[in-house]
């Protein structure tokens, strides 16, 4: 699977009123790669993840995931806006972890993880349970499976959210500043789990983060955004040690 194109943004423009948030954006992510988006606040990074989750639609351009158009479908040789069914199918390949965890507060930890595999993928309760228990072990929360989210720390809740996203076996995991709502002492535990996943699975990751040492550890490629465009990209080594673009140097100088 490695090396094949999984995500492609083709001339994508997204505006909010007069604010051009993504400007004729082109980029691609190959299967199995871990790509980190960096750049100043407001440069459009989260908008990219929200477009991939179909929480937003592009004003112009197309997005493909695994060769399938995300927001369009082909009918009689023509590209038309995608219907709900098509969007749901393509989206099954995409998992996302949000800043604010977004767990179901009225469900215990185990049920948070089994809910979508049972209801969306049609797994039996037993299959979903086995999958969830394996994932809880991976994120180090086996002993907490019968608790409600409110009984867990923020870091533990975020690890449940990671397990919940992985339970759908998505091809790509989107991570949107997943540690920025956490108390500082809880950040490392979450990043350790993500490092482990990055190093031991073949899942593709697209990650928005301000944790530069984490980005350096897990990324194959780092993309620097500024005003809705990728102004520079490269290996973490190149981007963090010897960036070409003055704006990248200025940004990293301020955050490192």
CB-count burial class (<10 Å; 0-12, 13-18, 19+) for 103: buried
What's the closest the beta carbon of residue 49 comes to ligand ADP, in angstroms? 8
10 Å Cβ neighbour count for 44? 24
Binding footprint of ligand ADP on the chain (CB under 6 A): 16, 19, 21, 39, 41-47
Helix, strand, or coil (residue 93): coil
What's the closest the beta carbon of residue 51 comes to ligand ADP, in angstroms? 9
Helix, strand, or coil (residue 210): coil
What's the closest the beta carbon of residue 122 comes to ligand ADP, in angstroms? 33
List CB contacts of 241: < 8 A, sequence separation 6 or more. Answer: none
What's the closest the beta carbon of residue 187 comes to ligand ADP, in angstroms? 19
Strands 229-234 and 221-226: antiparallel
Residue among 7 and 21 whose Cβ is closer to ligand ADP: 21
Residue among 26 and 202 whose Cβ is closer to ligand ADP: 26
What φ, ψ does residue 231 adopt, rounded to 5°? Answer: -95, -20
Angstrom distance (rounded) from CA 99 to CA 54: 17
Q: What token pair was written down for 151?
A: 């009984």
Residue 154 DSSP symbol: H
Residue among 98 and 129 whose Cβ is closer to ligand ADP: 98
What's the closest the beta carbon of residue 43 comes to ligand ADP, in angstroms? 4
What's the closest the beta carbon of residue 254 comes to ligand ADP, in angstroms? 15
CA dist 101 to 29, 49, 55, 104, 154, Å?
A: 25, 15, 16, 9, 8
- Residue 12 and residue 197 in contact, taking contact as beta carbons nearer than 8 Å: no
What's the closest the beta carbon of residue 167 comes to ligand ADP, in angstroms? 26
Residue among 22 and 132 whose Cβ is closer to ligand ADP: 22
Residue among 197 and 224 whose Cβ is closer to ligand ADP: 224
Residue among 101 and 163 whose Cβ is closer to ligand ADP: 101
Sheet holding 68-69, edge to edge: 19-30, 5-16, 60-65, 68-69
Angstrom distance (rounded) from CA 149 to CA 124: 24
Residue among 39 and 236 whose Cβ is closer to ligand ADP: 39
């Amino acid at each position: 699977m490695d090396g094949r194109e999984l995500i492609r943004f083709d001339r994508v423009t997204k505006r909010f009123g007069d604010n051009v948030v993504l400007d004729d954006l082109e980029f691609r992510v190959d299967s199995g790669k871990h790509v980190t988006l960096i750049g100043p606040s407001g440069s459009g990074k989260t908008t990219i993840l929200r477009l991939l989750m179909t929480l937003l639609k592009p004003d112009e351009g197309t997005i493909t995931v695994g060769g399938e158009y995300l927001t369009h479908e082909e009918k009689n040789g023509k590209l038309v806006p995608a219907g709900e069914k098509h969007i749901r199918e393509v989206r099954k390949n995409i998992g996302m972890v949000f800043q604010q965890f977004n767990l179901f507060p009225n469900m215990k930890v185990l049920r948070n993880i089994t809910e979508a595999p049972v209801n969306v993928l049609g797994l039996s309760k037993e299959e979903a349970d086995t999958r969830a228990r394996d994932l809880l072990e991976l994120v180090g929360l086996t002993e907490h499976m019968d608790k409600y989210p409110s009984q867990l720390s923020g870091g533990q809740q975020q690890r449940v959210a990671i397990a919940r996203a992985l339970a759908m076996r998505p091809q790509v995991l989107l991570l949107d500043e997943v540690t920025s709502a956490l108390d500082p002492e809880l950040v490392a535990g979450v990043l350790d789990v993500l490092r482990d996943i990055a190093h031991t699975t073949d899942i593709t990751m697209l990650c928005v983060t301000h944790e530069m040492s984490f980005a350096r550890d897990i990324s194959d490629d780092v993309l620097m955004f500024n005003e809705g465009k990728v102004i520079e990209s490269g290996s973490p080594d190149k981007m963090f040690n010897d960036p070409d673009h003055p704006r990248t140097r200025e940004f990293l100088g301020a955050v490192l």
